[in-house]
A and B are shown apart, each in its own frame.
Chain A
Amino acid sequence: MTLFLLRRLLQTAQVLFVMSLLVFVGVYAIGNPLDMLVDPQATAADTARVAAALGLDQPLWVQYWRFLGNALQGDLGTSFLHGTPALQLIVQRLPATLELAVSALLIAVLLGIPLGLWAGLRPDSFGGRTIMAGSILGFSLPTFWVGLMLIMVFSVHLGWLPSGGRGPTREFLGLEWSLLAPDGWRHLLLPALNLALFKLALMIRLTQSGTREALLQDYVRFARAKGLPPRRVVGVHVLKNIMIPVVTVAGLEFGTLIAFSVVTESIFAWPGIGKLLLDSIGQLDRPVVVAYLLLIVFIYTLISLVADLIYAALDPRVRLAGGQAA
């Protein structure tokens, strides 16, 4: 187990290092931020002074070395535009994105499991077929397209819900929450629904296929033969056994939700880290772009590391085959 842990940690560090190098070199290869930061009428001496102040006059590898050293201390550079640390900018926006992602995950789980269960118990009924056809649409429709339709129907046409922005928030435990503010959840509903759609389809399909498989298992047939009421058979014997893959996927997919929130935040003008990334790319604010990309890769790698460790703890076969790529 220790060997597996070490090997897995080393692998994670490798991925992070390669990504940081790629992201850094790539981001510094586009455009020249001096063109944008310095007044075009400034003298060459002034431009050089700004470059020196920002460290942009050093060779690329020196800049990277300095960047890496700082990054290990939690300093991912200072935003060219805002003058504040890039990581601080992101951390300030993170709660908005996390609230959106958690709400979306909740919607996906709370709607997806009952719908998938229904479709799995009655696979040939009209309702079951409709749910499964709907889940195919949920998979194949681009998120931004659905967001557009939600705005058109619920904001513009019906006028029920606001079309964008976060609206009022209320402070709780030192963070701002939309869910707690009386008008805040109305702002949250459409973006969360939009972000949830893909995961909802995934949850429905997972639950449906899990249910269909579980119904054929001996323990379900025995429970039925024993005369247990259908409610108990489904609620305890079926549901308990399909929860394992469902919970695993829900956890693993959380990183995807944060990545996809870029799209939803841009459509609904939600002030999270995704919108910050798009704005920063447009304004060539490199430190923020680098910090965002590294942070999201870090979150991603961390989630998959934790998942792998849990698997390894539960299943010795994973440990034994761990070193080889399978």
Chain B
Amino acid sequence: MTAAAAAFTPAAGGWRALARAYADSPLALAGLALLMVIVAAALAAPWIAPQDPYDLSQLDIMDSRLPPGSASADGSLHYLLGTDGQGRDMLSAILYGLRISVAVGFSATLLALALGMSLGLVAGYAGGRLDAFVMRAVDIQMSFPAILTAMILLALFGQGTDKIVIALVASQWAYYARTTRGAALVEGRREYIEAARLLGLSTPRILFRHLLPNCLPPLIVVAALQVAAAIALEATLSFLGLGLPVTEPSLGLLIANGFQYLYSGRYWMSVFPGVALLLAIVALNLVADRLREILNPRLQSQ
């Protein structure tokens, strides 16, 4: 990750080159567009949703379990994607659920990135016992699948938005730590770091102003992939009833709630939130895949 990746560091004005290389793939552009629509829809949910799905005064039990396209009993609303068991508009519920899923996925990824990156940077730069200790922890963490770590923590601490973010961070920080440490080991031996040290710059300044920017390219790829993994994992845990509480229904919980109706053919209550989840994951994967193609020197030389 040195020569080719260096062309894309911000110092070299590489962001524009990165954008240009990214735009070469129409599929990746479509993925990016889809991702932007999804994030925009999630952010704007309170303003674009036909109803507030969690304001009980807006729900009418007479409207429960209506198939997609039905009109409400009082004729004021069209349920484009049908309603759930409580007469809630599925489209609104999905938009609000998407908001929670995206928020949890991104915040967990950012926190895990910050934690793993700092640990990896310090470990790679300092070396010695600290390095051995951090990497031992990384090895142990990575020998367990993410879902097992998250399940253990949620079984221990119970449900909650903060708890699921903690569980996601705990199961993902090791990827960033390992990636950063690898990059820091290589970059740390270069002349500019030595020069910075000779100039008498403080260690934090060397780490975060000089070393970090040059370790970023591989981290961007890992982070892009991990957002999708975090959203999928959160949905799985919420589906199992281990994740978010009923008061904050993410897509996973919506799918779980609609699951019981699947057997009677009322597919819309779980399939539509499922499609929303699928679109979000596929869009993120398309973007991440393209970034990896651009930023991975091994693939580039082929």
Hey, which bits of chain A sit against chain B, CB under 8 A? 15, 22-23, 26-27, 29-31, 136-137, 140-145, 148-149, 151-152, 155-156, 163, 255-256, 259-260, 262-263, 266-267, 277-278, 281-282, 289, 293, 296-297, 300-301, 304, 324-326
Contacts and interface: CB of A to CB of B under 8 A. Distances in A.
Interface in B128-171: 131-132, 135-136, 139-140, 143-145, 147-148, 151-153, 155-158
A143 B262 contact: no
B270 A27 contact: no
Contact of A145 (B147, B153, B255, B265): B255
A145 B274 CA distance: 7
B201 interface: no
Contacts of B232: 140-142
A145 B278 contact: yes
A300 B278 contact: no
Contact of A262 (B151, B235, B262, B265): B151
Nearest to B273: A145
B255 A144 contact: yes
Contact of A15 (B140, B263, B265, B267): B140
A300 B144 contact: yes
Interface of B: 131-132, 135-136, 139-140, 143-145, 147-148, 151-153, 155-158, 228, 232-233, 235-236, 239-242, 252, 255, 259, 262-263, 265, 267, 270-271, 274, 277-278, 281-282, 285, 289
A247 to B, nearest CB: 19
B132 A140 contact: no
Contacts of A256: 145
A26 B241 contact: no
Nearest to B155: A281
Nearest to B149: A259
A30 B240 CA distance: 18
A137 B152 CA distance: 27
Contacts of A289: 155
Contact of A143 (B132, B140, B236): B236
B242 A259 contact: no
B98 to A, nearest CB: 15
B155 A325 contact: no
Contact of A23 (B131, B136, B156): B156
Contact of B263 (A156, A260, A277): A156
Contacts of A141: 232, 278, 281
Given A30-B158, A156-B265, A300 B143 contact: yes
B145 A281 contact: no
Given A144-B236, A155-B263, A296-B148, 12 more contacts: A22-B156, A136-B285, A141-B278, A144-B240, A145-B235, A145-B274, A148-B270, A151-B263, A259-B144, A260-B147, A263-B239, A282-B241
Contact of B262 (A29, A152, A304): A152
B155 A142 contact: no
A260 B131 CA distance: 32
A56 B214 CA distance: 54
B274 A148 contact: yes
A140 B278 CA distance: 9
Nearest to A290: B155
A85 B39 CA distance: 49
A134 B281 CA distance: 14
A324 B155 contact: no
Nearest to B152: A293
